[in-house]
Amino acid sequence: MKGLIRDLEQLVGRDSVQADPEDLLAYQADATGYFAKGEPVAIVLPADVEAVSKTVAYACEHGIPITPRGAGSGLSGGATPIKGGIVLDLKRMNRILEINHGNLTAQAECGVVLADFQRAVEKEGLFYPPDPQSMTVCTLGGNVATRAGGPHGVKYGTTGNYVLGLEVVLPDGSIIQTGSSCVKHSVGYDLTHLMTGSEGTLGVITKVTVRLLPKPEKDRTIIIVCESIKQAVETVSEIIARKIVPAKLEYVPSGAIRGMNRYINPPIETEGGAYLFMMIDGSLSQIEEESEKIKNLCQNSGVLSVKVIEEEGEAASYWKARTAAYPLLLAMVKKVIIEDVAVPRDQIASFAESLEKIAAETGIPIGMSGHAGDGNVHPSVIVYDLTDEVEEKAQKAIKMLIQSGLDHGGCISGEHGIGLHKSSFIEMELGARQIQLFRDIKKAIDPKGIMNPGKIWVEEGEAC
């Protein structure tokens, strides 16, 4: 190992290599350390694409696994170095290179924190919609690698809808530029979107070119308190049917509201069975008209209450509380496994009913929140006791709820990616032939199998 560390220090500089035990410990897992942990032998923190290229070329020559890492905020185990080797921490590559008003595009290095990027763009009167809940820490490169989503997905789509071009270091250390800054690009195979969502298994994304939108003039938050999840889903369907597409439309279960009220001023009434947090945006006249339509629709459908928030600080408190829901839950129990299933919007209520049956059958509590506007829901598998028996029941519940999502016409991941967590389930959705295509692509691009090994699919009983 000393020889490896010495070689890496000569390649990229001593300040860019970490190998102390306490440093290695911090990189053993991403935000889902309860799935598995790895034991890296070295951490490399490159400052530029040349350092990435040198590191990857060295790893290729010597057959050393490479695990690319952004902020480590992923929820699928994707940045976990389960095969050891080198973790490539890309957070030093954090420059915003260009914000182009005339072309409505921007270019940035992979380590730029999403919230910083959005603030920089919005100062220019522009808008980059993708907004995963971890946006204060997650990076653009990680977002692209997992096709990250967020509440804005209902109206604006997810990260993959905005990627125009990439700079990628391939497994042999060569550097390629995919796509371009053009609105239209039809040249050869679409390697840009092959790399988008590849979770570090085909190369290292080092630079991202994305399209931007004009920043909406105004936005407004609306809170709808419903008697039940069935009523909440019916309300969502009715809003969409009226040709109103909210910028955000989130389902929040009644059990989460008490904890969230710590952040909300004034607090929300707690008599409801289900809650919808909604944001509409556009011109002032548009949001005034849509606010009135939504109020009338909700009152006619018999919801318990509908509140249009006029004051910006109060509206911000609702969205801050929504973001804090997962940490609040995590602080109350031993372990929470946040699932990520997408179903057609008209199937949300039926899927929620199936979760209640699964919880009753397995004895494992399952909560549910998520992006009601686009059908991406997040069942929370709650573990109160860390015993083998409870863990076995929890894993059974996970498999059952994933199967239920597929039975409802859905998919096993809407925004978190596959990583480790979903690798044993992916064939349930895609089938053996597609998985074989994945393997063939992987072998063609990464014949030595050094790029983020152990992720996305299972082979011979082991994630590979």
Confidence of residue 120 (pLDDT cuts 50, 70, 90): very high
Angle at the Cα of 133 from the Cα atoms of 250 and 221, rounded to 5 degrees? 40
Would you state the pLDDT for residue 459?
66
pLDDT at residue 464 above 60?
Answer: no
Does residue 266 have a cis peptide bond before it, meaning omega lies within 30 degrees of 0? yes
Would you state the pLDDT for residue 291?
96
Taken in order of first residue, the domains within the chain and their CATH numbers are 2-89 (3.30.43.10), 96-214 (3.30.465.10), 218-330 (3.30.70.2190), 333-407 (3.30.70.2740), 426-463 (no CATH)
Better-scored residue on pLDDT, 316 or 2: 316
Would you state the pLDDT for residue 309?
94
The C-alpha R_g of the chain, in whole angstroms, comes to 23
pTM score, whole prediction = 0.94
How far from chain centre, in Å, is Cα 121?
Answer: 21
- Closest to 353 in 3D by CA, of 405, 303, 427: 405
- Closest to 4 in 3D by CA, of 90, 49, 93, 66: 66
List phi, psi (to 5°) of 347. Answer: -105, 0
Query: Per-residue pLDDT tens for 165-189?
Result: 999 999 999 999 999 999 999 999 9
The tokens for 395 are 């894993």
Q: State mean pLDDT over 238-261.
A: 90
Confidence of residue 33 (pLDDT cuts 50, 70, 90): confident
Would you state the pLDDT for residue 463?
42
What type of residue is 161?
N
